[in-house]
Amino acid sequence: KPESHTSTFYSVGSLSTTYEKKETLMQPCMEDLEPIDTFGVVVGKTSEKGSSKRPSARDLSHRLSRPPPEAVVGEGSFGVVWRAMDRHTGQWFAVKIIEARKRGRANVATRDAEAANHIRVHPHSCLVTLFFVHHFVEERMYMLVMEYCSGGDMKHRIRQALREQEHLSLYRPPRGAISWIGQAFLGLEHLHLVAKALLRDLKAENIVIDAHGCAKIIDFGLARMSTESDGTWTFGVPPGSPGYISPEIIRGEKYGFPADIYSFGVLVWVLLSGGLMDCPLEPGPPVSRKGFGYTAYLDDYRLLHRCLDQPDRNNARPLSDQGKELVERLTHRKPEWRADHAGIRSLELMRSLKLPYPGARKSEVDAWVSQTAIS
């Protein structure tokens, strides 16, 4: 009987450089990817370089779904992300495994892969490039092959900056922080206005820094391929992360772009303040710990604004006037009072970045990113 294990994939037809400083990334093949450590040394079981026989989907999925610990860069509830190198070109990639074998995960995994593929066809310099989504049908597994960003995530960079300070009350944002704010905004604006999608899980862990110092949005697992939602919690929980979720999502109300803008405001506060002073190793926003259920997170909005208005009384660090203005305008309790995309661009801190205008050509966006990225 013929081999029944099959695989399918959605690929990028042609690729261009993200910006001039960046080397051209070639389209990789799944069977050519090898797990590597932080030094680029191949680890674990490798492919048969001298063999001309194409591996079966079963053999390929078995090899690629079990990366050695040295290659793993992150883990989540649906699998791991590991570091890979194309054995022919030597280029590095990140591979995200989305498991769908366990009960209740199939729909979530399929949705995650479909969302990633939707973002793939709407590329932007401030979104991590997704090369293809590979579906191992019989193994009930997806693998997303993405560009590898060697600078770590924003939360890691904030943690590094905190460790460099002599006293807990002191904090100097990472070099390039203001540029990262502009880059994250451009990526989010592109998702809203071009891809017509809501991200719904913007946080410091979901912003990565590439080798040239450019901030890029990653992880579109909770993205909604629509600009509005009726407020229903599709999987029985509110989309997002505690402290970053907008009040209207917690309340189960209709929401749209302003929900992501709220999360963006929280992200800016965490980046510029370093988070709460009693959590130096886990920089993040204030999160309510009272009560049961998700409604307790409704207090997160109040906690954030107490940190803004009276930082010394709330275990927080003060922001500059420009930073405080930006966070306040992005995190109003009522979504209609928050700044929209044009309003965000008009704020003093954002004006100083001289962002490319909405609808600018890719070459213009790339040139701006190249000028503002700090390696």
Determine the Cα–Cα distance for residues 140 and 151; give it in Å rounded to an integer.
32
- Give the HSE-up count for residue 174: Cα atoms under 13 Å, Cβ half-sphere: 30
Establish whether 96 is an annotated binding residue: yes
Q: How far is C-alpha 278 from the chain's CA centre?
A: 25
CA angle 95, 98, 100 (to 5 degrees): 155
The strand pairing partners of 97, in sequence order, are: 143
- Alpha carbon separation from 255 to 41, 197, 226, 251, 341 (Å, rounded): 46, 12, 11, 10, 16
As a three-state string, the secondary structure of the chain is: CCCCCCEEEEECCCCCCCCCCCCCCCCCCHHHEEEECCCCCECCCCCCCCCCCCCCHHHHHHHHCCCCHHHEEEEECCEEEEEEEECCCCCEEEEEEEECCCCCCHHHHHHHHHHHHHHHCCCCCCECCEEEEEEECCCCEEEEEEECCCCCEHHHHHHHHHHCCCCCCCCCCCCCHHHHHHHHHHHHHHHHHCCCCECCCCCHHHEEECCCCCEEECCCCCCECCCCECCCCCCCCCCCCCCCCCHHHHCCCCECHHHHHHHHHHHHHHHHHCCCCCCCCCCCCCCCCCCCCHHHHHHHHHHHHHHHHCHHHCCCCCCCHHHHHHHHHHCCCCHHHCCCHHHHHHCHHHHCCCCCCCCCCHHHHHHHHHHHCCC
Encoded tokens for 271:
């980046």
Closest by alpha carbon to 326, among 347, 357, 296, 298?
Answer: 347
Annotated binding-site residue numbers for ATP: 96
Annotated binding-site residue numbers: 96
